[in-house]
Amino acid sequence: MKKFVQFIAGAVCPECKSLDTIAINANDDEIYCVKCEFKEKRPTDPTIKSEERINVINLEEFKKNRN
């Protein structure tokens, strides 16, 4: 099975300064660069309730579940 990688459009890596190389690990909300060793936990706003947070989804899986 092919690994699905969700990229953040327009994001610039703070370490290597590459554009469009930042991806999200959907399992633990860690963001990372596919070109260098940069990794960090996705920032969270403690004032936002968990039910108001945006969830990352795989669009292909979403389309399959709607049919």
- On whether the pTM is more than 0.75, the answer is no
Report the run of H or E that residue 63 belongs to, with start and end. Answer: helix 59-66
Segments of the chain scoring below 70 in pLDDT: 1-3, 42-46, 48-58, 67
CA dihedral 10→22→40→17, nearest 10 degrees, is: -70
